[in-house]
Amino acid sequence: MRKDEITGLVQILGFSVEDMSFQERKGQIPEVRIRLTRDKPWYCCAGCGQYYLTYYDCQPCEVRDLSYGQWKKSYLVFDKVRVKCMRCGVKTEKLEWLEPYARLTRRFEQEVAQECRFLQSIKTVAKRLHLHWETVKEIDKKYLLKELEPPDFKGVEELAVDEIALKKNHHYATVIAEAYRNRVLGVEKDRTEKSLGRFYKKLGKKGCALIKAVAMDMWTPYEKATRKYCLKAEIVYDQFHIIQNYGKIIDKVRNMEFAKAKKEEQKVFKGTKYLLLSNRAKVRGNNRVRLDDLLKVNQSLTIVYLLKDDLKHLWDYRYEGWARKWFEGWESRAKDSGIEPLIKFAESLKEHLRGILAHCRYGISTSFLEGMNNKIKVIKRIAFGFRDMEYFFLKIRGAFTE
């Protein structure tokens, strides 16, 4: 790109191109420095917007701008002034194209933020735009904050709350989403009552009063926080978590039965742990034979296995009365089985029955949050571990804005 072409492209409000110098060295990125002069001798206070004809002091300044053709690194060079404002004291001047203290022009920052939006790694963006990793991250964070803070709670009536695992060894975060839309409203550290409480505080008294239902796992801290802040909200325990917990019962019974089994029967148990957790209709071929062999020799496991598939029907009902009746039937079969872990599980379901049957009235679940996990894995990589938790949480919200 030639000098006159660049001059035509620069277009900085209130400034004209005076001169430029090029730098091309072997093994280095070609650079252009564009010297700007001020069109008019007045200066605007960044604090209050008052114009002044004189300035307090001035300092040469160099900021990165968009690339110009082969000149991948471009710098705008100009004199930045400070004004002595009657109201604000000594202040840097206000420039439309450059935020106070920024090292990049606003339009270049916008390009960086845009690139980061497509879930590219920071490393990739940094490399492409010839910037430092940290610079890219800070700009991305700044723009996410601008866009996402404060969160837009307008019209929010149903929530879905779930935990996500951050690291191994029990590091968690709580994710709060709008139940019918793929929109994350908040991410909070840990999965305690306080975690969700922090979110409800941000939602505010008025916002909390509008919440009609909250979908969640049978996790007491979430329930407590919800009861404390959202007095009118119905708690909806969702199917995914209940069936997942049931998986633990199957596992327990399998271990108990294995310990009781005779040597030759124990062989049948081998490698069936995951088969028992899967849907029988989807188990095919050799696996199906193994599953059926196991169920043939062990009556307790058969009962536990069949009751799992049956339990899922509870979510087919749309009328609470029918759902309740159906559950009572299921419960008595569980009790009749005499299998201790299963009986306990049935009892715990009964204690939480109101919240389980609430799905009839509010068809909400946390399934959208379950599906988030893959995207979150990508974000984890992008956000480069968890050195900056705030950034990581913003990234999650940014990825699920609708």
Per CB under 5 A, residues contacting Zn ion are 45, 47-48, 50, 85, 87-88
CB 178 within 8 A of CB 203: no
Contacts of 159 (CB under 8 A, 6+ apart): 176, 177, 178, 179, 185, 211, 213, 214, 215, 233
Rounded least distance, CB 50 to Zn ion, Å: 5
Closest distance of CB 48 from Zn ion, Å:
3
Closest by Cα among 192, 225, 187 to 208: 225
Residue among 243, 302, 244 nearest 272 (CA): 302
- Provide the strand spans (E) within 130-279: 158-167, 171-178, 183-189, 213-216, 234-237
Nearest distance in Å: CB 56, Zn ion: 12
Q: Of 45 and 358, which has the nearer Cβ to Zn ion?
A: 45
Rounded least distance, CB 83 to Zn ion, Å? 7
Q: Considering the complex, what minimum distance in angstroms separates the CB of residue 86 from Zn ion?
A: 7
Q: Which is nearer to Zn ion, 45 or 307 (CB)?
A: 45
- Evaluate whether 163 touches 216 at the Cβ level (below 8 Å): no
Kindly tell me which of 46 and 213 has the beta carbon lying closer to Zn ion.
46
Q: At residue 207, what are phi and psi to the nearest 5 degrees? A: -60, -45
Q: From the CB of 230, what's the least distance to Zn ion, in Å?
A: 44
How do 171-178 and 31-38 pair as beta strands?
Answer: unpaired
Residue number, 91 or 254, with CB nearest to Zn ion: 91
Q: Which is nearer to Zn ion, 87 or 267 (CB)?
A: 87
| Rounded Cα gap, residues 75 and 98, in angstroms | 13
Give CA torsion, residues 338, 344, 350, 352, to 10 deg. Answer: -160
Sign of the dihedral through C-alpha 10, 14, 18, 24? negative
Residues in the chain: 402
Nearer to Zn ion, 6 or 98 (CB): 98
In angstroms, give the least distance from the CB of 38 to Zn ion.
19
**81/85 with CB nearer Zn ion:** 85
